[in-house]
């Protein structure tokens, strides 16, 4: 046990609706010489800590991170020996509402923030001491220069104020039980710093800075001003059709930063709030704007980049880059749907469809392990998985393909990283999700009850409808089968008893049978949509004869739609894979490289620098989709990058030897597909895999690099089983 587990949660008396930040402070005078000092610290809220005026963990932002606070909160441990001077420590900790009780928590007045910490000291004579947070007179809480702080709404900072109005702290009631656990996830850090590309004067005569890239983070700016002079910045992702600043799609999130000068020169960036933006409007600023005074700071979890892709098609490369930005923008401690409007939540469906692509782009094992722990803690007793993790809304929304994150994400982590411990840790959670589904309907082999998000945002319904046409229970039953299939494989991997494995095998077979009996009628699926066929084929729900009909139907549905996609969140990740697997690689490339609406490239023709929530956030006539749901940074459709790695460049996981211990190298190259070159590389634990091909008039040259201690199965016209090394093959076309 760490000494922080003995610490008390302390808070301050704060009026309702007061969103200011407080500073908790205590001074310790040690009686002996200190040899080592470690600060263990956490907050229900967000904190920034100082010992003797020096910031502790200064590279880390948004501590202690976002977990299912009802059950657990992470603490961080920092060696602060160097901060201690003359046997004296002034501990000052700024705490704001953050994710715990800010507007994002939905009910900000329920609980205020609280702090818990312990300072462990080893003296020169080897004796030890621990100083814990408690409601003694030694601890005080003061008002601070951060007079307003909220994740969604921004920050107001009055630099004229120093901590003032010191009052006694009190014990925080009703905050326990909380497990205080050591940091499990990746730390959130600052990354790139972007300069202003141009200063725009809009038709409404507003001054707007363009950073050239839609990002998540904040602006750091320099000011030289008179005391009391005010600076106000608003943040937006896009300009409207007329070129004016557009914030309606932010809904309730204000994304506003206010800074009041203390006189003289200073540099400032918000402490406990982040914004999703490319454009910044200077609502209040001095006459002269010096663009070099502003930097946009990119902030995200500190994941290591592992994947790279390039091709002969500039727009495809741009699509790839936009997906990388989508991941950076939405991997801020938890996987979020979007980083800008009044949502920014860990939507499970979004995370599930993107987790494979994410695991190729970056090393996300640690990131997802933490989130999955919270997922299991958020599960109801009956196994239901809430649609956002950490859970925010009351427990009403449980849906297939969203809740299935419980099985899909851990299994993907196992496949990409060959780490069975994630499956072991999540096993109970995965199994109880499957039981929840099984108990949801009268027929244990179908999931045909309750609200389902379905093929969210598909285009096969009248404009403005959220749920696509594909039958929601057809979708639910396919995902049910898939989760059971994952359970079966997991049970085998974890060497569970034979009867457990048989249980899942039988359940799977029965679901498949019930699916075919219920949803296949007159040579078709009951909803004759692109997504119905994509899901049934991708998740292997049909026998060979029906597969043939299904692929033919799918191709027809694509032709009906003018050779374009009409899929939503669920069909989109797999449509290209299915086409390529079933002999229609040419059509897959056509869809991938299509520039007209609807397509992946269309947003780029409208200036997109991230992935949009809808295919038509900006419609061809330049107007916007409804302001209610129009995020310009939603990674879900960015799942297409796994097609780039796996099919275009051809680096695939061998499920029987995961973690790229054996690599399947199988590029899908089609003469006249529009590409004549593609290359991907993946940094794995064992080294870097490279796959590259180049097409000339009558031949294709493939180059593969297989890292040490791995093998590869190279699938071209012939199959080659090889060990580590570099291989080149030329084939005539
Ligand atoms: C989110 C989505 C999410 C959906 C549920 C939206 O508000 O932004 O990405 O998956 O709700 O269908």
By DSSP bridging, strand 275-284 and strand 264-268 are unpaired
Residue whose Cα lies nearest atom 9 of ligand 1: it is: 337
The parts of the chain modelled with pLDDT lower than 50 are none
Confidence (pLDDT) at 206: 96
Choosing from 237, 258, 310, 343, the catalytic residue is: 343
Ligand 1 atom having least distance to the Cα of 636: 9
For the chain, what is the largest distance between any 2 Cα atoms, rounded to a whole number of angstroms? 86
**Would you list the domain boundaries of the chain?**
4-149+165-182, 188-301, 307-649, 662-732
Superfamily of chain region 4-149+165-182: Galactose-binding domain-like (2.60.120.260)
Q: Are strands 179-182 and 72-79 parallel, antiparallel or unpaired?
A: parallel
- Closest C-alpha among 571, 601, 599, 337 to residue 458: 571
Matching CATH number, 662-732, of 2.40.70.10, 2.60.420.10, 3.40.50.150, 1.20.950.20? 2.60.420.10
Query: Which atom belonging to ligand 1 lies closest to the Cα atom of 402?
Result: 10
Residue where the block lists tokens 């200190």: 34
How far does residue 29's CA lie from ligand 1's centre (Å)? 52
As a whole number of angstroms, the distance between CA 620 and CA 123 comes to: 70
Q: How far is the CA of 456 from the centre of ligand 1 (A)?
A: 8
Do residues 397 and 352 make contact, with C-beta atoms less than 8 angstroms apart? no
Instruction: For residue 137, give the 3-state DSSP assignment.
Output: coil
Tens of pLDDT, residues 297-345: 999 999 999 999 999 999 999 999 999 999 999 999 999 999 999 999 9
242 is catalytic: no
Does ligand 1 lie within 6 Å of residue 455's CB atom? no
Any atom of ligand 1 within 6 Å of the Cβ of 347: yes
- Please name the fold of domain 188-301: Jelly Rolls (2.60.120)
SS3 sequence, 308-348?
EEEECCHHHHHHHHHHHHHHHHHEECEECCCCCCCCCCCEH
Probe residue for ligand 1, chosen from 249, 250, 346, 350 as the CB with the greatest number of ligand atoms within 8 Å: 350
Say whether 103 sits in a helix, a strand or coil.
Answer: helix
Annotated active-site residue 343? The verdict is yes
State the closest ligand 1 atom to the C-alpha of 629, by its place in the atom list counted from 1.
7
pLDDT of residue 107: 66
CB 253 within 8 A of CB 277: no
Q: Are 142 and 25 in contact (CB under 8 A)?
A: yes
Query: What is the pLDDT at residue 112?
Result: 82
DSSP 291: G
From the CA of 635, how far away is ligand 1's center (Å)? 11
* Cβ burial 26-47 (10 Å sphere, 16+ → b, else e): bebebeeebeebbbbbbbbbbb
Q: Distance from the CA of 107 to the center of ligand 1, in angstroms?
A: 20
Q: How far is the CA of 462 from the centre of ligand 1 (A)?
A: 19
Eight-state DSSP code of residue 204: T
Strands 275-284 and 230-236: antiparallel
CA distances from 61 to 81, 297, 299, 511 (A): 21, 12, 8, 46
Q: Which residue's structure tokens are 């397509």? A: 599
As a whole number of angstroms, the distance between CA 226 and CA 228 comes to 6
Q: Do domains 188-301 and 662-732 have the same CATH topology?
A: no
Q: 304 alpha carbon to ligand 1 midpoint, in Å?
A: 27
Report, at the CATH architecture level, how domain 307-649 is classified: Alpha/alpha barrel (1.50)
- Asked whether 350 lines ligand 1 (CB < 6 A), one says yes
């Amino acid at each position: 046990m760490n000494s922080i587990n003995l610490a008390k949660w302390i808070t301050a008396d704060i009026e309702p609706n007061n969103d200011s930040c407080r500073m908790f402070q205590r001074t310790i005078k040690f009686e002996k010489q200190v040899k080592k000092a470690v600060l263990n610290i956490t907050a229900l809220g967000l904190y920034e800590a100082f010992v003797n005026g020096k910031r502790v963990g200064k590279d880390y932002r948004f501590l202690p991170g976002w977990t299912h606070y009802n059950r657990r909160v992470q603490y961080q441990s920092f060696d602060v020996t160097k901060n201690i001077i003359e046997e004296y420590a002034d501990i000052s900790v700024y705490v704001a509402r953050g994710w715990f009780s800010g507007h994002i928590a939905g009910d900000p007045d329920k609980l205020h923030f609280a702090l818990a910490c312990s300072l462990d000291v080893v003296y020169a004579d080897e004796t030890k001491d621990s100083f814990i947070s408690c409601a003694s007179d030694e601890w005080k809480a003061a008002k601070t220069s951060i007079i307003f702080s909220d994740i969604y709404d921004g920050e107001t900072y009055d630099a004229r104020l120093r901590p003032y109005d010191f009052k006694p702290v009190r014990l925080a009631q009703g905050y326990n039980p909380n497990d205080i656990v050591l940091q499990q996830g990746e730390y959130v850090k600052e990354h790139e710093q972007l300069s202003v590309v141009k200063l725009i004067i809009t038709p409404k005569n507003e001054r707007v800075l363009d950073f050239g890239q839609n990002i998540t983070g904040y602006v750091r700016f320099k000011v030289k001003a008179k005391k009391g002079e005010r600076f106000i910045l608003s943040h937006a992702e896009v300009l409207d059709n007329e070129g004016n600043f557009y914030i309606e799609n932010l809904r309730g999130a204000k994304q506003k930063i206010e800074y009041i000068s203390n006189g003289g020169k200073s540099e400032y960036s918000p402490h406990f709030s982040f914004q999703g933006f490319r454009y910044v409007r200077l609502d209040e600023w001095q006459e002269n704007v010096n663009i070099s005074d502003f930097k946009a700071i990119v902030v995200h979890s500190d994941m290591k980049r592992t994947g790279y892709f390039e091709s002969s098609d500039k727009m495809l490369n741009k699509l790839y880059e936009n997906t990388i930005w989508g991941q950076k923008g939405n991997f801020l401690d938890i996987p979020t749907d979007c980083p800008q409007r009044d949502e920014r939540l860990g939507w499970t469906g979004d995370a599930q469809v993107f987790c494979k692509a994410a695991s190729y782009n970056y090393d996300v094992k640690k990131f997802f392990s933490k989130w999955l722990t919270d997922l299991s803690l958020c599960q109801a007793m009956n196994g239901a998985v809430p649609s956002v993790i950490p859970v925010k809304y009351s427990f009403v929304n449980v849906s297939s393909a969203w809740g299935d994150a419980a099985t899909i994400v851990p299994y993907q982590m196992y496949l990409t990283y060959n780490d069975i411990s994630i499956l072991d840790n999540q096993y109970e959670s995965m199994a109880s999700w499957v039981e929840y589904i099984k108990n949801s309907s009268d027929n244990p082999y179908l999931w045909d009850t309750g609200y389902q998000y379905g093929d969210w945002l598909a285009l096969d319904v009248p404009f403005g409808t959220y749920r696509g046409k594909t039958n929601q229970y057809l979708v639910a039953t396919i995902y049910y089968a898939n989760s059971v299939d994952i359970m079966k494989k997991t049970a085998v991997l974890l060497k569970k008893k034979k009867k457990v494995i048989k249980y899942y095998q039988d359940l799977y077979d029965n679901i498949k049978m019930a699916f075919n009996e219920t949803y296949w009628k007159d040579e078709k699926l009951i909803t004759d949509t692109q997504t119905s066929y994509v899901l049934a084929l991708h998740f292997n729900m049909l026998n060979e004869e029906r597969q043939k009909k299904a692929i033919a139907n799918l191709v027809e549905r694509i032709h009906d739609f003018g050779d374009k996609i009409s899929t939503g969140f669920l069909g989109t990740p797999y449509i290209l894979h299915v086409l390529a697997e079933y002999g229609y690689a040419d059509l897959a490339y056509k869809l991938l490289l299509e520039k007209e609406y609807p397509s992946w490239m269309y947003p780029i023709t409208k200036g997109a620098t991230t992935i949009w929530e809808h295919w038509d956030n900006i419609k061809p006539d330049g107007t916007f989709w409804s302001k209610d749901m129009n995020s310009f940074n939603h990674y879900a459709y960015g799942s297409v990058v796994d097609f780039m790695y796996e099919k275009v460049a051809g680096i695939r996981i061998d499920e029987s030897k995961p973690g790229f211990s054996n690599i399947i190298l199988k590029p899908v190259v089609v003469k006249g597909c529009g590409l004549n070159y593609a290359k991907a590389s993946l940094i794995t634990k064992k080294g870097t895999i490279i796959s590259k091909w180049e097409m000339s008039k009558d031949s294709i040259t493939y180059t593969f690099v297989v890292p040490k201690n791995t093998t590869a199965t190279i699938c071209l016209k012939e199959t080659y089983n090889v060990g580590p090394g570099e291989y080149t093959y030329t084939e005539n076309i």
